[in-house]
Amino acid sequence: MKLGLVGLPQSGKSTVFAALTGVRGEKKDYGSPRAAPRIAPITVADERLDFLTKIYNPKKTTYAKIEYLLPSEIPTSSSKSERGVWNQVLPCYALLHVVRNFEGSGGSPAAPEQEFWQLEEDMILSDLVVAEKRIERIELDKKRGKKPEGEEFSLLKSCCEHLETGHPLRRKPELASKQVLKGFTFLSAKPMLVIINNDDEDEEAPEWDNRPEDVEMMVVRGRLEMDISSMTPDESEEFLEAYHIQESALDRVIKNSYKLLNRISFFTVISDEVRAWSITAGTPAFEAAGTVHSDMQKGFIRAETLAFEDLKTCGTFQEAKKAGLVRLEGKGYEVKDGDIINFRFNI
Ligand SMILES: Nc1nc2c(ncn2[C@@H]2O[C@H](COP(=O)(O)OP(=O)(O)OP(=O)(O)O)[C@@H](O)[C@H]2O)c(=O)[nH]1
Ligand SMILES: [Mg+2]
């Protein structure tokens, strides 16, 4: 699942990307920055998986991954109405909107709220153009005697009406989630995490008069975090303390991304591998089994489930079992964050 970085020019997208990829040494050459987007698969740190590794001592530990995409092309004031400049982020499931909250080059003052709304409006406008064009096309076809099929026309009309009020489509999830509209990859329908990019010394979230709804928001200090991410653990310790950083920007961004995407993790211990799997909250055990292996879904019998916290309290799987904490769940069981699952199956 990819999350694309967007933001006005010079907001700190490249810096935030470098901070994200720098922390666990995942900074690599992700291709030429000019030609193509850079995509970084980032390891999702998880203390629970570390704990499982300690008690099971497996040959292999596999963490979940999450992908961040840095587009090479970004809309500028002259190109923003063109859909083409958004091409690289259109396939992304969600957007990370980086907003400058530090003094820019040439002394331009920070205007995070204003800049946020500027890009937000560009995206809304760009979606409106896409929807209107399609409507025109359908109307033209109608004149030529071709009947419009299904709900597409009326749904697009609803989108236009909503976008014209200046609101993003993500505010209307029941409309935005319609299958017929998926192909339009509306920007304003994508879940969004707003990253306020503060100066090194500034830990505060800025006060906004008009706070966007339906988005997650967080503050990072992009440049500081990028610098720290390139240090050795010993070097960075002093800085983390001096700047009151308890958790790296990366881990906070990942946590917020999971929240935004409504993702949870469950764990498996199979043939010497301890592994984290990421699924959408509310996924039934039957489907979760399918993410691990199609055979487990096909031959699903029961999900032998233990909550991570219970394992931690009891110390071992056997002790937890003795205490009656290991449950046998059926197909419809909603997998919970932190479940350790052994899928019993038969094919
Ligand atoms: N003070 C301060 N400067 C920053 C911070 N983040 C980025 N900068 C500076 O702002 C400038 C732009 O940062 P970039 O990361 O290149 O921004 P960008 O959004 O990728 O820029 P474009 O790709 O040109 O749109 C650079 O000079 C950075 O060093 C920050 O958190 N604090
Ligand atoms: Mg850049």
Q: Is residue 250 part of a domain?
A: no
| Tokens representing residue 321 in the block | 């079992």
What is the whole-number distance in angstroms between the Cα of residue 100 and the centre of ligand 1?
A: 8
Site residues for ligand 1, CB cut-off 6 Å: 7, 9-15, 74, 102, 197-199, 221-223
Q: Is residue 329 part of a domain?
A: yes
pLDDT above 80 for 251: yes
Residue 32 pLDDT level (bands cut at 50, 70, 90): low
Q: Is residue 223 part of a domain?
A: no
pLDDT confidence of residue 26: 54
Q: Report how many domains make up the chain.
A: 1
Q: Is residue 326 part of a domain?
A: yes
Task: Give the domain CATH number at 326.
Answer: 3.10.20.30
**pTM of the shown model:** 0.89
* Per-residue model confidence as pLDDT tens digits over 256-296: 999 999 999 999 999 899 999 999 999 999 999 999 999 99
* Per-residue model confidence as pLDDT tens digits over 151-210: 999 999 999 999 999 999 999 999 999 999 999 999 999 999 999 999 999 989 999 999
Q: Is residue 274 part of a domain?
A: no
Residue nearest to atom 30 of ligand 1 (CA): 223
Of 105-109, 169-173, 248-252, which range is least confident?
248-252
Residue 52 near residue 237 (C-beta atoms within 8 A): no
Residue 240 pLDDT level (bands cut at 50, 70, 90): confident
Q: Is residue 82 part of a domain?
A: no
Determine the structural domain holding residue 302 and report its residue range: 282-345
Residue that has been written with the tokens 């530990």 in this structure: 61
Q: Is residue 295 part of a domain?
A: yes
Question: How does strand 273-280 pair with strand 60-62?
Answer: parallel
Q: Is residue 133 part of a domain?
A: no
